[in-house]
């Protein structure tokens, strides 16, 4: 009995370590864009300067509308960079975007990073698009699909 309890404790600690492998992402910039009578402000740039390769990143992107209407359409990954032939950064979207109100949450990770020789650090960038249906003429009805860039920069110090 004592041996199986010890094994359960070890398994629980290992699983806890796996669940704890998530990145800390900080918002670094918000952007604004005007479409006709409507101005959209959204979270556009994030960074994690102490990222561990393979860790899951959970990112929540918020947007705000000053007047008119903007409704969620989709959130997609465009690409991971740098795209050097020998040493590209790469990653994957790990979850379906979860939208609620004026925010969308997504999980992704990097499974490869580019080594920046000048700075002696591994780096990667993920580029996404937040697509919103926008009321461009201020009449309260959405009439235009617009894409808003969201970028993430990570560094894994050596």
- Domain assignment present for residue 49? The answer is yes
State both tokens at 126: 């993920």
Task: For residue 36, count CB atoms less than 10 angstroms from its CB and return exposed for 0-12, middle for 13-18, buried for 19 or more.
Answer: middle
- Domain assignment present for residue 152? The answer is yes
- Domain assignment present for residue 12? The answer is no
Tens-digit pLDDT profile for residues 90-103 = 999 999 999 999 99
- Domain assignment present for residue 4? The answer is no
Q: How confident is the model at residue 82 (pLDDT cuts 50, 70, 90)?
A: confident
The pLDDT assigned to 22 comes to 67
Nearest-angstrom CA–CA distance, 137 and 122: 45
- Domain assignment present for residue 6? The answer is no
Domain span at 32: 23-157
- Is the pLDDT at 11 greater than 50, yes or no? no
């Amino acid at each position: 009995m004592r041996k199986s309890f010890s094994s359960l404790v070890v398994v629980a600690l290992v699983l806890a370590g796996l669940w704890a492998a998530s990145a800390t992402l900080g918002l670094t910039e918000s952007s604004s864009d005007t479409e006709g009578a409507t101005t959209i402000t959204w979270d556009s740039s994030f960074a994690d300067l102490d990222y561990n390769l393979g860790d899951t990143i959970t990112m929540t992107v918020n947007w705000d509308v000053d007047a008119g209407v903007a409704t969620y359409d989709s959130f997609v990954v465009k690409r991971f960079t740098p795209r050097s032939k020998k040493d590209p950064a790469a990653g994957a979207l790990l979850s379906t975007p979860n939208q609620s109100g004026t925010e969308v949450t997504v999980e992704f990770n990097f499974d490869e990073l580019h080594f920046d020789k000048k700075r002696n650090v591994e780096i990667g960038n993920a580029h996404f698009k937040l697509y919103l249906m926008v009321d461009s003429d201020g009449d309260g009805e959405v009439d235009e699909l617009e894409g808003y860039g969201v970028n993430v920069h990570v560094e894994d110090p050596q």
